[in-house]
Structure 1
Amino acid sequence: MRALIAILTVVLLLLTTSAPADARPPREPIRNPVSASFADTFADPAVIQGKDGWWYAYSTADPLRADDAPGVMHIARTRDWRSWSYLGTVFDGSNRPSWATATSGLWAPDVRYVAGRYVLYFTVTDTTLHPGDDSAIGVATAPTPVGPWTPSDTPVVAPRAASGGGFLWTFDPAAFTDVEGRHYLYYGSYFGGLWVTRLSADGLTPVGAATQVAIDNRYEGSYVVRHDGWYYLMGSAANCCAGPTTGYSVFAGRSRSPLGPFLDADGISLLASAVGGTTVLTQNGNTWVGAGHHAVVTDARGQTFVVYHAIDRNQPWLTEPFGINRRPMLIDRLDWIDGWPRTRAGLGPSDGPQAAPVTGSGLGITAEDPAARGIWGATAGPTDPQSGPTARVRGVATTQRPAPADRVRLRADLRGDRATTVVLGRGDRRLRVTFDPTGQRLTVRAGTGATVRTPVTFSPGWRTLTVTADGPQVTAQVSSSDLADPAAEVTTRVRGFAVSSAPVQVSGSDTLLDNLTIRPLARPHTTAAPVPQVGRLLGGDEFDSPALTGWDVVRPSGDVTVADGALSWRLTSTDLTGGSNNATVLLRQPPAGDWIAETRLRLDLGTDTVRNYQQAGLVAYRSDDDFARLGSVAIWNTRQTEFGRELVATADGGTSYGGAVIGTPAPEVWLRLAHTTDAAGEHLFRAGTSRDGRAWTWGATWTFAPGATPRIGLVAHGGAEPATTATFDYLRLYRLAP
């Protein structure tokens, strides 16, 4: 009998101490666009994981398919980011906001869980409060992510009159909660800039004066997350909707305060005239252009993802050319490189198979019904109207399998007024986290290290507790929406500590538990993707001779002179875009193969004043209607480095122009275009900029159809007043380093 007991004990130990990773087969990859099964366009996506465990996505009011009528903000959901169900619209004729005009657009939703209910913020492009386009931010509430949605009787952010007449663009809301539990709302667009206002505890009323956080004429589509003690403000820049020439991209600044000031990786403010912004997401020459207006989500392993819309450059229109743009929803991994968010470590949008966000729990746990499987000691709780089946913990509940050692992440939705404690590991390698909503404390103790506490202020409803152990680094967060917006956070580093492998304990006197996931913590990608590097010098022009030997001149003029080792070019009121095509262009034949063109440009465009659209820089040129132009440019009060593209977009010769922005300009700036070809024979040009000639920022890529390599050249134009001269010190052509 003793032998049999011993054998059974060994078997039981083997069963309960098996590999902690989920035993299911590897997850099938996904590929963009993830909205393809239910929509051809799903723009301006907002995402939240509901308390029922589903992921819900919301979009702006474009038709889903070309033959559909516009919908008033669409809703879809998924459990695994593969299979989606379309659920209808937020509004219809029965619940449309009374203060929105009948023809007003309802755009750009953002959804949060606040005070025990779902709160949806959205743009109203025209209200009944004033004549004309007086945009505002609306708000609606619902008990579930699907609704029914009840809009407020008035805007949460009312129309804002502009000093010169009209109304500022009050677009693109994004809510946020800081680690003090205070609520904020970010909003704005090009005409007026980005702003933030405090909100009341229920998220429905502004509190105090608003603060501007980004300059006008640069950003829209704001979104804020907290990461490693910083607040990151991300916004989209350039034209969202130029079909195949859309260069929309996402950039970031960070601050220790949700009110800013937000600075980029070079220390440049998002409020500066020569505006800052570190690239988060931009096109790379594959299928997708115009990647932007995003949200950020975190999967069960702690990996962040960026959810956004983009345009297939080969199928850019939902309706006829120059009509509605086809902007489906995409998702890609978001990595943190040297403290900054980068999509796929800087590779940009994916158009091939990729790993899906990890959902559900390991350890044999049924995440959306924890009492059903995988936990001892938890009983079936009530079926909650918001979350569905729940588990009730009275005493101690324990997972039937051990959690991983060293690197582990736990996430759980909790409801109740009494303290809940989670324990990972055992002995000196034990991590103990207690969330006490009544005592208003979040407490962490790791091993024999000191106990760390932070105050917590929380409204009623479900709260999400996340615990991550990454060797000696331990973090606990409590939030309502779980969108990288913790209302309380404790981070501690205990030298020599690492959590051990052991069953996880959850204890409480009366706690409702749901959506419990326990997974090995994702391994971060910390190395940036490679960027173009120069090889040996192939040739070019140092401008040592007054003669422009080796150059072809399109529309010669007397505005270009060469002297003292530099080419000087007086700016005139000419351009290459649209039907103008009256600017001078200097062109050279490029070398064969892969190469980089570089110039040093001196162009003082001043600051703040309007000097539209004085500019100069490099150009890759096939014709006046088929070129890509990189240069410093004055765009209203801002100074930007734009990489623009024009091409013929219709059979009858209609052209489309749009631009991406890259880096920060200065009175002296270095510019590069890196040329490669892809397997289809297309010519790819990626742009880089530098303010010192040593540190380079590489950004968007534009493509040209197969055929002869576009010529490389220089341009300077855009306005004669005030009198301005661009100076080029050289044009150098380098072999692209392998």
Structure 2
Amino acid sequence: MTKSRSWAARAAGLAAVFSFALTAAALPPTTATAPAVATASTAAAPVKTQKEPGQKLQTDLPGGKTVVGRTSPIHDPALIVDGDGTWYVYSTGLLNRENGGTIQIWSSSDQGTTWEYSGTIWDQIPTWIDEHFSDGELPGNLWAPEITEHNGTYYLYYSASRFGGNNSITALATNTTLDPHDPDYEWVDQGLVVSSPVSGLDPANPGKTFNAIDAGIVEDADGTPYMAIGSFWYGIFLVPIEWPTGKPVADWQSKTVNIADRFMPGNPIEAPYITEHDGYYYLFVSFDSCCRGADSTYKVAVGRATSVKGPYLDKDGRDMFGGGGSVVLDSHGAITGPGGQSVFGDYLAFHYYDGSNQAIPYFPTLGLQKINWVDGWPTFDQTVELPAVQQQPKAQAVGAGKKAAFSAAATGTPGPVAVWETSSDGGASWQQVDIQPVTRRTDEGTYRSTLELAAVSTDRDGLLVRAVFQNAHGKVSTDAVGLSVK
């Protein structure tokens, strides 16, 4: 398969999985309204998790992390956790410049469980990018962001390309804060970082080049920064960059290292991300084909090295520059085609095509796993266990002005999260509770959640209450129980 055909397939796949978002009513690009699509995770108003000041949330165990709230459409997620504890994900923009087509932002205030849509970095794609592609089709959106911080500045790398070839760019925006409510919040366009095709990478092979998308930033033990980049073509390259510009050093082409190449038809490898752990550098990549919904074959593979420049060897000692790479995360259960990954701390963020989404099957969705490091290698729990209710809530009768509490528990893998709903019309329609309680893992291995309704009034007499437990593979509802207020 040639790269040109691969990207044509990728374009078709993206168009298919994003089509519902693109046919929805256009949203004002300056708002932070989520894309107008109905999905299993976005069918109701944004969900907030109840967390009192000073309250500590439960520490995650290694394994899959259930996410709720606004979790789609998310493609190529770049994860970062800010100093105030807020989790952010930056993702590929919507096709056909829907909502501006620029990089999307998502945030979580409860350690990555409940997500909200926070808008886009800009209202429109920068003019200079259109000028770069003025000889033909203009990019319909910005792709594959990477976010990193250095010396108080946040560096957001992103890509633009033309489907069907490697006429691509990676560009940069900077900010001094990730908080959109900060008066200093502004993503400043810093222009071009690298473009492709590029020459001068290998004197012995003048035709060697890369596709300038999917940047990932890493520093070596001395603090020297590098940018891993590449998609198909000749694989993955490591480009030396420098601070504070965040751009390549002088004569970077001659100093760039080709660190991964599958040497097979089409060379389906992309989305490099390098992270350091216990003296090793780990190169995460995506193998095979994304963006085909149920037919996606994307998977996450890894190798490690003692030097950031490689060689990166897999668990069997095979060099990733030569076909190596240990697959560590593949399709399982309702998760199809996981990839497009980034790493922050011990968490892997990725997208997948959600087979449990009944409204829009195989819509691109955010996935999170806390890495389990075993014998020096990252491992991921791919157990599939649908949520199952273990404790039903009980009907409550309380006096006016008193508190009513409903508790429920379930099992499942990944551990399910409860989203509580109420109905005031006898169950004909259900609305998510505005402030959701935290779902906690018990010593018995169940996941328990308790909804408290404070100072209930008589107009809530007859209210029905239920919990919907969900994980990446499905969901289950508890019985609906009543509230009696005297």
TM, length-normalised to structure 2: 0.58
Please name the residue that 1:239 is paired with: 289
Q: Report deviation, 1:156.
A: 1.0
Q: Report deviation, 1:287.
A: 1.0
- SS of match in other structure, 2:121: strand
Where does 1:172-187 land on structure 2 (aligned, <5 Å)? Answer: 172-187=214-229
Contact map agreement 1:112 1:119 (CA 8 A) in 2:
yes
Q: Report deviation, 1:185.
A: 0.4
Contact map agreement 2:212 2:229 (CA 8 A) in 1:
yes
Please name the residue that 2:25 is paired with: none
Q: 1:52 aligns with which of 66, 70, 84?
A: 84
Q: Report deviation, 1:349.
A: 10
Q: In 2, distance between residues paired with 1:349 and 1:198?
A: 44
Please name the residue that 2:230 is paired with: 188
Please name the residue that 1:210 is paired with: 256
Q: In 1, distance between residues paired with 2:198 and 2:315?
A: 34
Contact map agreement 2:166 2:196 (CA 8 A) in 1:
no
Please name the residue that 2:445 is paired with: none
Q: In 2, distance between residues paired with 1:326 and 1:241?
A: 10
Structure 2 vs 1, CA of residues 315 and 189 (structure 1 numbering), >3 Å: closer, same or farther? same
Q: Which amino acid aligns with 2:343?
A: V
Contact map agreement 1:193 1:214 (CA 8 A) in 2:
yes
Query: Is it true that 1:341 corresponds to 2:378 in the alignment?
Result: yes
Query: What RMSD in Å do the two structures reach over aligned CA positions?
Result: 3.6
Q: In 1, distance between residues paired with 2:155 and 2:386?
A: 31
Q: In 2, distance between residues paired with 1:106 and 1:121?
A: 10
Please name the residue that 1:308 is paired with: 350
Q: Report deviation, 1:178.
A: 1.6
Structure 2 vs 1, CA of residues 26 and 45 (structure 1 numbering), >3 Å: closer, same or farther? closer
Q: 1:74 aligns with which of 101, 104, 112?
A: 104
Please name the residue that 1:125 is paired with: 161
Please name the residue that 2:196 is paired with: 159
Q: Which amino acid aligns with 1:333?
A: K
Q: Deviations over 1:501-554 (max 9, x none)?
A: xxxxxxxxxxxxxxxxxxxxxxxxxxxxxxxxxxxxxxxxxxxxxxxxxxxxxx
Q: In 1, distance between residues paired with 2:256 and 2:321?
A: 15
Q: Report deviation, 1:121.
A: 0.8
Q: Report deviation, 1:184.
A: 0.6
Q: Report deviation, 1:105.
A: 3.3
Q: Report deviation, 1:73.
A: 1.2
Structure 2 vs 1, CA of residues 112 and 263 (structure 1 numbering), >3 Å: closer, same or farther? same
Q: Report deviation, 1:67.
A: 13
- SS of match in other structure, 2:338: strand
Gaps (5+ residues) in structure 1? 1-21, 299-303, 320-324, 358-738
Contact map agreement 1:288 1:349 (CA 8 A) in 2:
no
- SS of match in other structure, 1:156: strand
Contact map agreement 2:217 2:225 (CA 8 A) in 1:
yes
Q: In 2, distance between residues paired with 1:234 and 1:56?
A: 20
Q: Report deviation, 1:100.
A: 4.9
Please name the residue that 2:174 is paired with: 141
Please name the residue that 1:107 is paired with: 143
Please name the residue that 1:283 is paired with: 331
Structure 2 vs 1, CA of residues 317 and 278 (structure 1 numbering), >3 Å: closer, same or farther? farther
Report the count of equivalent residues.
Answer: 315
Q: 1:219 aligns with which of 265, 269, 284?
A: 269
Structure 2 vs 1, CA of residues 313 and 230 (structure 1 numbering), >3 Å: closer, same or farther? same
Q: In 2, distance between residues paired with 1:26 and 1:109?
A: 29
Where does 1:638-649 land on structure 2 (aligned, <5 Å)? Answer: none
Q: Which amino acid aligns with 1:78?
A: S
Higher RCO (CA 8 Å, separation ≥ 6 residues): 2
- SS of match in other structure, 1:213: strand
Structure 2 vs 1, CA of residues 59 and 67 (structure 1 numbering), >3 Å: closer, same or farther? closer
Q: Which amino acid aligns with 1:293?
A: G
Please name the residue that 1:518 is paired with: none
Q: Which amino acid aligns with 1:72?
A: T
Q: Report deviation, 1:337.
A: 1.7
Q: Report deviation, 1:149.
A: 1.2
Contact map agreement 1:134 1:168 (CA 8 A) in 2:
no
Q: In 1, distance between residues paired with 2:358 and 2:212?
A: 27
Q: Deviations over 1:256-298 (max 9, x none)?
A: 11111111111100111xx1111221123x1111011112233
Structure 2 vs 1, CA of residues 349 and 228 (structure 1 numbering), >3 Å: closer, same or farther? farther
Where does 1:428-447 land on structure 2 (aligned, <5 Å)? Answer: none
Where does 1:279-428 land on structure 2 (aligned, <5 Å)? Answer: 279-284=327-332, 286-298=333-345, 304-313=346-355, 315=357, 326-344=363-381, 347=383, 352=412, 354=414
Contact map agreement 1:183 1:198 (CA 8 A) in 2:
yes
Q: 1:170 aligns with which of 209, 212, 220?
A: 212
Contact map agreement 2:94 2:141 (CA 8 A) in 1:
no
Structure 2 vs 1, CA of residues 179 and 279 (structure 1 numbering), >3 Å: closer, same or farther? same
Q: Deviations over 1:589-634 (max 9, x none)?
A: xxxxxxxxxxxxxxxxxxxxxxxxxxxxxxxxxxxxxxxxxxxxxx
Q: Which amino acid aligns with 2:168?
A: S
Q: In 1, distance between residues paired with 2:109 and 2:331?
A: 28
Q: Which amino acid aligns with 1:338?
A: D
- SS of match in other structure, 1:225: strand
Q: Report deviation, 1:138.
A: 0.8
Contact map agreement 2:146 2:157 (CA 8 A) in 1:
yes
Q: In 2, distance between residues paired with 1:122 and 1:318?
A: 27
Structure 2 vs 1, CA of residues 306 and 348 (structure 1 numbering), >3 Å: closer, same or farther? farther
Q: Deviations over 1:73-101 (max 9, x none)?
A: 11111121233332111222375654554
Structure 2 vs 1, CA of residues 316 and 338 (structure 1 numbering), >3 Å: closer, same or farther? farther
Structure 2 vs 1, CA of residues 31 and 178 (structure 1 numbering), >3 Å: closer, same or farther? closer
Q: Report deviation, 1:338.
A: 1.8
Q: In 1, distance between residues paired with 2:113 and 2:372?
A: 21
Query: Is it true that 1:85 corresponds to 2:116 in the alignment?
Result: yes
Gaps (5+ residues) in structure 2? 1-53, 200-204, 388-411, 418-486
Q: In 1, distance between residues paired with 2:268 and 2:328?
A: 15
Q: In 2, distance between residues paired with 1:355 and 1:125?
A: 38
Q: In 2, distance between residues paired with 1:133 and 1:118?
A: 27
Please name the residue that 1:116 is paired with: 152
Q: Which amino acid aligns with 1:111?
A: I
Please name the residue that 1:365 is paired with: none
Percent identity reads 27
Q: In 1, distance between residues paired with 2:59 and 2:170?
A: 40
Q: Which amino acid aligns with 1:258?
A: V
Q: Deviations over 1:160-194 (max 9, x none)?
A: 24889897422100001122111110000112210
Where does 1:572-651 land on structure 2 (aligned, <5 Å)? Answer: none
Q: Report deviation, 1:196.
A: 0.6
Q: In 1, distance between residues paired with 2:286 and 2:223?
A: 27
**Structure with more strand by fraction:** 1
Q: In 2, distance between residues paired with 1:349 and 1:260?
A: 38
Q: Report deviation, 1:204.
A: 2.2
Please name the residue that 1:16 is paired with: none
